[in-house]
Amino acid sequence: MQVYLDNAASTCLDEEAMREMMPFLRETYANPSGACSFSAKARSAVEKARERVAGLIGAAGDEIVFTSGGTEADNMAILGVATESVSVPKMAVQQGIFGAGTVTQDFAEPSGSLGKSGRVHNKIITSKIEHPAVLESCKEAERRGYTILYAPCDKNGRIDISFIKRNTDKSTLLVSIMTANNELGTIQDIREIAGIAHEAGALFHTDAVQAAGHIPLNVRESGADLLSISSHKLHGPKGIGALYVRRGVKIAPVSFGGGQEKGLRSGTLNVPSIVGFGKACEIARESMEQTVSDMARMREYFIDGLKKSIEGVHINGADSLPSIVSVSFDGIEGSSLLIELDMRGICCSTGSACSASKEGPSHVLLTAGLSEERIRGAMRFSFSKYTTYEELDHTVKAVGECVERLRRIRNI
């Protein structure tokens, strides 16, 4: 039996989404930016998909910018805000909006921008447990002169909101905090964090790549100004995603070319993938209530099964996405268990798949302050709508046997 329990890394393409994509591969393949009716058909499919993506997060279609995935959306949000903030005062200087003296003085800062009030925005606040797509974008912003502050989290992966509150002030340009963590699954209170950012006049971005399609999201309710989403995490095709940019929020492009996507993301649109992404979002929205309750039941069942049949089981994280279980087993190396399970046809991961190629312990579990043993032993099992109870039973049994074997080898 083959069992795929690594859905936080990527999901199976929904069949309906695939069916909608097919005509755009060999029939309606015209460039959507073209002038002929062939192109108009492709364009209209893109706009329909835009509405569907927007619908999943309670946004409007014109607030969606298509990207190549979550990574590009995160880069676009952070570096787009940082770049825009630098260009504003330069324009203001040219247009004589600010007195030269004030501007010169404020530009003595290594970077940052002058807001309307003439103050310098040179601080970005994020957390230590963000995905590398955010952390590396922040590092790039730091190289450009911004100050980056990293909020810690507690042992369950809850980001320290009091840190954000203490450090968000008039110099803060952006607060970027993920909606749910990709390793522990911990869901953050982004509504409260957005409120803190806004009170100080800063923008709020959230990486919702893991959360979108798994829990209800509404940008109007949460107050997010920018939100990243990725298609392949919610049964859409790979290589496509989106950044929600609230109307009125200005970000600068980070790549340049033909000016597609309102100049924010140049390049010919990937129509088949956009169509598949749109359909996957529509399906996710329509089945949200069912998915959340099915996943929650599945998660409980799986954890219960592990705890009943294996000794020394520790669940990592709390307030988790219903689709993610992070678990450590006493005396077990996650990497060894992963290989054992893989040989039995069960696919899961030790941490996040994206960091599988990086050496060293998970930065998320380290920040959460878990013991070295618990970090080394951490495994992530993640479910999807295609996961069955039979697969869960099979996995619990296999994990039990493998853990027992590995403990025997180590004389535990």
- Provide, rounded to whole angstroms, the least separation between the CB of residue 244 and ligand PLP: 14
Candidate list 7, 11, 28, 71; residue touching ligand PLP; CB under 6 A: 71
Applying CB under 6 A, which part among 21-29, 63-71, 141-149, 295-303 lies near ligand PLP? Answer: 63-71
Regarding 184 and contact with ligand PLP (CB under 6 A), the answer is no
Residue 348 a catalytic site member? no
Residue of 281, 347, 348, 354 marked catalytic: 354
Regarding 133 and contact with ligand PLP (CB under 6 A), the answer is yes
Backbone angles phi, psi at 30, to 5 degrees: -65, 155
Candidate list 21, 54, 175, 178; residue touching ligand PLP; CB under 6 A: 178
Alpha carbon distance 268, 295 (integer Å): 37
Regarding 237 and contact with ligand PLP (CB under 6 A), the answer is no
Applying CB under 6 A, which part among 155-163, 205-213, 218-226, 272-280 lies near ligand PLP? Answer: 205-213
Using the minimum distance from each CB to ligand PLP, give the nearer residue, 61 or 239: 239
Regarding 241 and contact with ligand PLP (CB under 6 A), the answer is yes
Regarding 182 and contact with ligand PLP (CB under 6 A), the answer is yes
What are residue 147's DSSP bridge partners? 123
- Provide, rounded to whole angstroms, the least separation between the CB of residue 325 and ligand PLP: 15
- Provide, rounded to whole angstroms, the least separation between the CB of residue 280 and ligand PLP: 13
Q: Which two tokens stand for residue 48?
A: 């329909």
Candidate list 3, 53, 54, 69; residue touching ligand PLP; CB under 6 A: 69
Using the minimum distance from each CB to ligand PLP, give the nearer residue, 28 or 67: 67
Alpha carbon distance 367, 378 (integer Å): 14
Candidate list 6, 50, 64, 70; residue touching ligand PLP; CB under 6 A: 70
Candidate list 6, 63, 207, 340; residue touching ligand PLP; CB under 6 A: 207
Using the minimum distance from each CB to ligand PLP, give the nearer residue, 130 or 282: 130
- Provide, rounded to whole angstroms, the least separation between the CB of residue 329 and ligand PLP: 24
Alpha carbon distance 80, 108 (integer Å): 22
Residues designated catalytic: 354
Provide the binding-site residues for ligand PLP, judged by CB under 6 A: 69-71, 74, 131, 133, 178, 182, 207, 209-210, 230, 241, 352, 354
